[in-house]
Structure 1
């Protein structure tokens, strides 16, 4: 079941079913198989269902025997069978075979502490009629999103922000206070939201409304104590055991299931372990791009094919040259919020492809954050060596770096881009150096871009660093990622783009027990002598061949930067033209022109910031100007005709 929404009225008036229905119609794509609602005076909860488990009997809302507890849940509870057996032993009666029903009886047995017993990805709403209390919540890592709107009359919630825009009197307005953070990072981090008056409930958070009062609290955080008393071989065995168990649990389904396969370590490990637990060949799906050198850098099909042959999967692959102009308005409508990560395009295309065969897909998302798979995690490693150089040599290197060209879509220029970024940040503190790697545009440049910088602008990275604890440098980076980029970029786009085609995507590498294990692992074991994912790769040595374990890291995105210099140059020019920018009233045209020129001349790789600006304008035409995505797409096509 994949879309929930609801309303609690503070004024005591009854919720109107037609409003719940209107909210559900906005997210029909999340649950085309079924719908349902329950209204009890001032509280109404509702759902749109994608049938995955107990196809015939899993209709929601679910209720207990005497109708005093009602539940809607989006996602999956992977340990539901064990919990069900335990509850049945305590004489709880189950009406269905649905995984979500265990939540009702666990809440009845243990109160709010029931949340700690769940292993899964979920957002939910539970109405306790006895206490006249609404409880909503979100899973630990934030795999499933949940948006909240609260004003003097009501508190409303939904799996997608667009459902809240169906409420009477609510209109889409830009929250200018979060624009600076959006341009800084390329996405909007929780609890902020691009819509004024709407916010995202953070991961691992519960919110209760009772007696007209709202209470919100965090029920889980990453452990920040690193274990030094465990040997490398013991870590390797524990990681492998927990990963295998996570994959096994997440394969539970009453409908066809498959896996995304890029040929990288994470997706290959998931597919290999799925093959060990399936009597039938696993269905796998891969995507590549047709074109020249830039497209070839993102084409991982040969690696995916190698893994598919190794595990005898039913493999399908697609080579695309996507019509980005037609896609962007549609995908940004589904995303709810603009972003600069081109992986949302790739994820949609491969999800659409896989949905021809399956309803459930497993993904390798999260492995890089858990086990040190990004090059940015090597900053501290190389900074130690850099500081051993004489001062004069470091000054010379920094001066030279400022004049290096940068372009991520050329192998040579991408190497220069990475060197440029490292040398520019090598003298910074660890936290500031990491910020420089994460940012799309530094905060000084953002202030120069905005007409109204806004003194109260949000800084989600500062909040994440403050909460990261005192673990070693690598684990602090992981803690920051787990609070920001992981839930509000990667997981958000994974959820929105897979659900856009009614496909449920599961992420076994983000099983919370595996996450807790990884968080306690010392940096010296996660990475060894500059080798990314050292321990994780060691745990998979008997599963994957060396050419897959040690292949060069590639991102799961598109060659957007190259397209902006070629076929999409007219689109870039028109979306960021003076009349458009002036009419929107957010940015200084001179600063926009400087960014466009610097990208075109390879003085900087401006892919992310230019796409952030373009996507914000397209998003504005859809949500602020109230235009149909199809109509906007036709307009954009005219720019490049």
Structure 2
């Protein structure tokens, strides 16, 4: 696990070592244990290393025996032992015990197709000196990020965008083309980034540069073919076996390892199978909030304790009332891009807490996207029942629902919020209905909000267009796997854990488990109104009923409630009409209207307001060139002194 970066001079000029050092220095948090670089004329590749496997011998860049191939790799290859044995049987000689070295010899043996043999999370750069060819790539699911910049003289890449900004001649500029989709989704979907001239390499993508030509291609997609020949019992058994195998593979480590534990189905399943595979108690870490009703809704500590006691883990908890104002500038610097998902705050805090003991953590991220765990997946199920009602009754319900209050941080008002959103979209087609569930702001509102009007890319439309599934649920899951999963959840998981030099692994996103889930019929994943039906059935003899069937809660913060109370002055100062006007992106009156609607509970504007706030804070750090500490001091001055 580390951060990688590099430069290929398209004009043939030699790469300067100092430029690679600048890129590495700014991402030292990704690899505080070691660093290295290799320069071969116009190509230079480098890394910062967090030592996990082969602590003494895993220095990078790695090379083959004759020095014709050089590699830097970020991540872990979980099946490296099997691949290593196979390659050694073919006569390949290894210099280290590192998992990354198998990439070198696999490439030598099989060419670009070697990526199909890898089970892991990774981004890599491989320099083939014989062909004067650079090959970079990213894992199938997009667990590890990779940014690319190309101008007339060079192509540069890095695990974090800020490393590219460290290069001479590169400055942070806002790419206004992604603003529309950012406001709709609350994150920037690949291949876009918030920086002009810098893009994300999409998941499962390779990029090669040879003889001045740049070629990019997708090497893997989840099949849209559904299997109909297995019984429900077979699906349950295969899911159980595949999950246990994935957890076992991802426990490989030469350093202490632990697990995030929320007490939800996914993290509890990971801990359960870790406990089965370990002769020592598993270390588990949980986070909770102190305060009123809103904080209580996000506090899952009692469930985490129950699971910890069941599997006799070494359990630690942290109860926080985080200094959000002080944290946001630094965390958005680490994120590289703004986003509206408050899970990046909790992920950072629990990662920081766990890093006191371990360097590797396993997370339950991905289970909802594989097995159907979000309430929004039930939209079609209930829409069909709603549409069976008489037209007059549908109209009356729609009229009443439109006037319901909404607030996700109150039990009752959150129920009303969900009902309001469902009724508003019940008459739409399946794709449009699901898009309405995902969007932070609708297209019409985005058009009124942006000074230049709505426009630009529509990542959700593109994802729906490429989703080959015919049934509604599997289309939704395919869209999530292309958009929210890599560009929101996995991006924040990587950036926030690596901010404290912690490697986070996601066994539920093992690609073989994902392929199994993708081929599963919808009525196996969700049975009637029961989310994650097959996964819960597979875990019936592993987890108690009250964990399997408890109400789902998000892994975030009660930000919406804080914005109405203690953080209200921050909200109003950051999004004051004069500030919005000076930034020149949004119409001040529309922003003020969003704030008023949120405060009056006419809408739950948590994600919308957070997307605007975080964009302004991000702009002060990156576009205005201020330090996160300086911005934090300014934000704190907006709040009354205690």
User: If the length of structure 1 is used for normalisation, what is the TM-score?
Assistant: 1.00
Q: Counterparts in 2 of 1:43-58, with a 5 A limit?
A: 43-58=43-58
Matches within 5 A, 1:88-487: 88-453=88-453, 455=455, 457-487=456-486
Aligned mates of 2:387, 2:580 — CA distance in 1: 44
* Structure 1 spans left out of the alignment, 5+ residues: none
Please name the residue that 1:633 is paired with: 632
Task: Kindly report the root-mean-square deviation, in angstroms, between the aligned alpha carbons of the 2 structures.
Answer: 0.5
Alpha-carbon distance in structure 1 between the residues aligned to 2:485 and 2:76:
19
Deviations 1:344-394 (A, max 9, x none): 000000000000000000000000000000000000100111111000000
Instruction: Give the match's secondary structure for 2:316.
Output: strand
Query: What is the CA distance between 1:472 and its match in structure 2?
Result: 1.2
Deviations 1:411-441 (A, max 9, x none): 0000000000000000000000000000000
Matched, 1:494 2:493: yes
Rounded to whole Å, the distance in 1 between the matches of 2:2 and 2:260 is 20
Identify the residue that residue 81 of structure 1 maps to in structure 2. 81
Distance 1:171 1:10 in 2: 20
Q: How far did residue 578 of structure 1 move?
A: 1.4
Partner SS for 2:99: coil
Tell me the TM-score normalized by structure 2.
0.99
The answer to whether the 8 Å contact 1:434/1:477 transfers is yes
Q: How far off its partner does 1:544 sit?
A: 0.4
SS at match of 1:453: coil
Aligned residues: 640
SS at match of 1:640: coil
Q: Report deviation, 1:454.
A: 5.2
Give the secondary structure class of the aligned counterpart of 2:638: helix
**Cα distance in 2, alignment partners of residues 142 and 180 from structure 1:** 23
After alignment, is 398-407 or 301-310 more displaced? 398-407
Shift of 1:222: 1.1
Which segments of structure 1 move beyond 2 Å, counting only runs of 4 or more? none
The CA distance in 1 between the partners of 2:223 and 2:287, in whole Å, is 36
Match of 2:4? 4
Alpha-carbon deviation of 1:2?
A: 1.3
Q: Does the 8 Å CA contact 2:287/2:350 hold for their aligned counterparts?
A: yes
Query: Which string of whole-angstrom CA distances, capped at 9 and with x for unpartnered residues, describes residues 219-264 of structure 1?
Result: 0001101111110000000011010000000000000000000000
Say if 1:186 and 1:339, in contact at 8 Å, map to a contact too.
yes
Name the CA distance, whole Å, in 2 between partners of 1:444 and 1:529: 34
Residue 471 of structure 1 deviates from its aligned partner by 3.2
Is residue 38–residue 46 contact of structure 1 (8 Å, CA) maintained in 2?
yes
Cα distance, 1:470 vs structure 2: 3.0
Verify the 8 A CA contact 1:175 1:194 in the aligned structure 2.
yes
CA contact (8 A) 1:177 1:454 kept: no
Measured against aligned partners, the alpha-carbon deviations of 1:123-159 in whole angstroms (never above 9, x if no partner) come to: 0000000000000000000000000001111110000
Find the aligned partners of 1:281 and 1:470 in 2 and give their Cα distance: 42
Gaps of 5+ in 2: none
Whole-Å separation in 2 of the counterparts to 1:252 and 1:373 = 28
Q: CA deviation at 1:524?
A: 0.5
Instruction: Give the drift of 1:319.
Output: 0.5
Asked if 1 retains the 8 angstrom alpha-carbon contact of 2:446 and 2:454, the reply is no
> In the aligned structure 2, how far is the partner of 1:608 from the partner of 1:2?
31
C-alpha contact 1:226 1:471 (8 A) present in aligned 2: no
1:535-578 CA distances to partner (integer Å, 9 max, x unpaired)? 00000111101010001000000000000000000000000011
Task: Report what 2:588 is aligned to.
Answer: 589
Matched, 1:615 2:614: yes
Work out whether residues 407 and 413 of structure 1, in 8 Å CA contact, stay in contact via their aligned partners in 2. yes
Q: Deviations over 1:159-192 (max 9, x none)?
A: 0000000111000000001011100100000000
SS for the counterpart of 2:376 is helix
Partner of 2:550: 551
For each residue in 1:189-220, what CA deviation from the matched residue of structure 2 results, as whole angstroms up to 9, or x when unmatched?
A: 00000000000000000000000100000000
